[in-house]
Amino acid sequence: MDFKFTEEQLAVQAAARDFAQNVLKPGVIARDREAKVAVEELKQLGQLGFFGMMVDPKYGGGGMDTVSYVLAMEEISKVDASVAVCMSVCNSLVNWGLETFGNEEQKQKYLAPIARGEKIGAFCLSEPEAGSDATSQRTTAIDKGDHYLVNGTKNWITNGSSASIYLVICQTDREKGHHGINALIVERGMPGFIVGEKEDKMGIRGSDTHTLIFNDVKVPKENRIGEEGFGFKFAMQTLGGGRIGIASQAMGIASGALELAIAYSKQRKTFGKEIYKHQAIAFKLADMATQVEAARLMCLNAARMKDAGVDYTEAASMAKLFSSEIAQFVTSEAVQIHGGYGYVREYHVERLMRDAKITQIYEGTSEIQKIVISRGILKD
């Protein structure tokens, strides 16, 4: 394993850090309080190329590797986990899915505008009764010859109202189980497609999470990704890479909380000295730093495996499981180190603690990651 980053990777990391610290940080507390999407900031991030990082330049992307993506996700997530999840969904779910499995026309029409930062995408799998149990899709896509007629409801969809391109997983033939599922590209504005209620969330409040409603939406056949019945495998494979994104988001949240805790411990004094000089605090920081470092290595390992073209399914799930678990511990300890200040909204650490929780839930709960990992390590 090569432990040195290339010049290009370091440049991407520096650009993401600069953007996070100078553009995202000033308004992040207000956006969280008001549950406001960073519309202008997302536009700028898109123009800088952070939504199409790994996409082939011929489709308007940056042609970067997954390692660069992990480094950028860490820097953005340290400051604004809401912007980071938008970036993760665009890069690793929507773009990767379209680039890997879409046809040329779909790539030109749908992938390129997202990669160029002109449009935002959403990945629509979860339903009121199909979250972890992804095969139990109730949204139907009935085959009507030249189009599918889509009916149903999707829940908790990230980028629900800011997106204009939606990858929607639907059931076409229930008797065929997961082989009867299709992935369809739905455009904002198609008649019958309604962006429903926005969720009032505990964390990542600057990200727009919505219910989506489909009432007799006519989706042309050419908007199906892959062969008939490929939708479930499309979702599973796409989520594999998505989990590297969310693992990096969780690791970035933890890494941000650690940086804040270190800075605070050097400035705050108790009993006549800076608090980091008390072993109780220094040991907490040592534990936090060790966990962040382990999570970072797991994220980079999964990324390197993906870049090397080897199967990274379990590595991605392990990285997500571990990073999201340590993010709970690290952010909670950061609040503890800040004491009373850590519990008020004027300081960043309480937001990071709330933001961390979702990383154990979306793109497969911790329990789902354990299913994926255990199946992987136990297979013959």
Q: Is 139 in the site for ligand CAA (CB under 6 A)?
A: no
CB–CB of 80/21 below 8 Å? no
Is 363 part of the annotated catalytic residue set? yes
Q: Is 135 in the site for ligand CAA (CB under 6 A)?
A: yes
> Of the candidates 110, 232, 312, 347, which one interacts with ligand CAA according to CB under 6 A?
232
- The mark string for 47-86 relative to ligand CAA (x by CB under 6 A, - otherwise) is --------------------------------------x-
Strand partners, 153: 213
Q: Is 110 in the site for ligand CAA (CB under 6 A)?
A: no
CB–CB of 123/93 below 8 Å? yes
**Binding region for ligand CAA (CB under 6 A) out of 61-69, 161-169, 267-275, 360-368:** 360-368
The whole-angstrom separation of Cα 239 and Cα 216 is 27
Please name which of 35, 188, 68 lies closest in space to residue 119, comparing C-alpha atoms: 188
Q: How far is CA 36 from CA 39, 334, 357, 363, in A?
A: 8, 25, 19, 23
Q: How far is CA 91 from CA 181, 185, 227, 241, 242, in A?
A: 23, 16, 23, 9, 8
Task: Find all residues with CB under 8 Å of 286, minimum gap 6, and list them.
Answer: none
Please give the DSSP secondary-structure letter assigned to residue 130. B
CB of 167 to ligand CAA, least distance (A): 10
Q: Is 158 in the site for ligand CAA (CB under 6 A)?
A: yes
Q: How far is CA 189 from CA 23, 192, 276, in A?
A: 31, 8, 55
Q: Which C-beta is closer to ligand CAA: that of 24 or that of 204?
A: 204
Q: Which of residues 86-105 bind ligand CAA (CB under 6 A)?
A: 89
**Binding region for ligand CAA (CB under 6 A) out of 72-80, 110-118, 190-198, 356-364:** 356-364
Q: Which C-beta is closer to ligand CAA: that of 83 or that of 89?
A: 89
Binding site for ligand CAA (CB under 6 A): 85, 89, 123, 125-126, 132, 134-135, 158, 178, 232-233, 236-237, 239-240, 313, 362-364, 368, 371-372
Residues known to be catalytic = 363
